Amino acid sequence: MVARSTGKSPAPVAGNRVRVARIGAAHGVRGEMKLWSFTGDPAAVADYGPLETEDGRLRFEIETMRAAKDHFVVRIVGVDDRDAAAKLCNLDLFVPRERLPAIEEEDTYYHADLIGLAAVTPEGVTLGTVAALHNFGAGDLIEIATTQGGEPLLLPFTDAIVPEIDMAARKVVVVLPSVTE
């Protein structure tokens, strides 16, 4: 979830699944692997029950998990050696939406809730739709796929740039920064 400009959050996918983690490279020879969590509380990824592939066909249970520098090192049930762990590298992991906790704070949203909302100026001019939210370490960015089909807009996801989120109307209001020469 995101409270404007803080933290990582689950990323959306079509349907009712939400991406919550990605498996990285194998770690050691006994089947451990790196895991990057995309949840508000990174360690909570282990609390959502079995993690699944996007299509739901494969399920993974975290057997052990320990914090590392900027990720976790996990052991997945049934993955017992480096070769098996390496085959899972770069696999995104999902949970059904209903397993995520309800949000009780005002102005706090799951990224999945914002994807697909119309992006309009304060005057009501359509800019496009919210395509994604990113966090590269310096705060959240909102990506807007423009109606012209050109390059997407990538803007800070702050109160100054996105002063209004109207879930009922399925839109976000975007104040484009002024360009000075």
Average pLDDT estimate for 4-14? 42
Predicted local confidence at residue 84, as pLDDT: 95
What does the pLDDT look like over 65-99, one tens digit per residue? 999 988 999 999 999 999 999 999 999 999 988 88
Domain with CATH 2.40.30.60 in the chain: 11-99
Domain with CATH 2.30.30.240 in the chain: 115-173
Predicted local confidence at residue 22, as pLDDT: 93
Strands (E) across 28-169 are located at 32-37, 51-52, 59-60, 62-67, 72-76, 92-96, 118-120, 126-135, 140-146, 153-156, 164-166
Predicted local confidence at residue 175, as pLDDT: 95
- What does each C-alpha distance from 108 to 13, 79, 103 come to in angstroms? 19, 36, 7
Predicted local confidence at residue 74, as pLDDT: 97
Top-level CATH class of 115-173?
A: mainly beta
What is 11-99's CATH topology?
Elongation Factor Tu (Ef-tu); domain 3 (2.40.30)
Ranges 9-13, 76-80, 110-114, 161-165: which has the least confidence: 9-13
Give the pair of three-digit tokens for residue 181. Answer: 């020469």
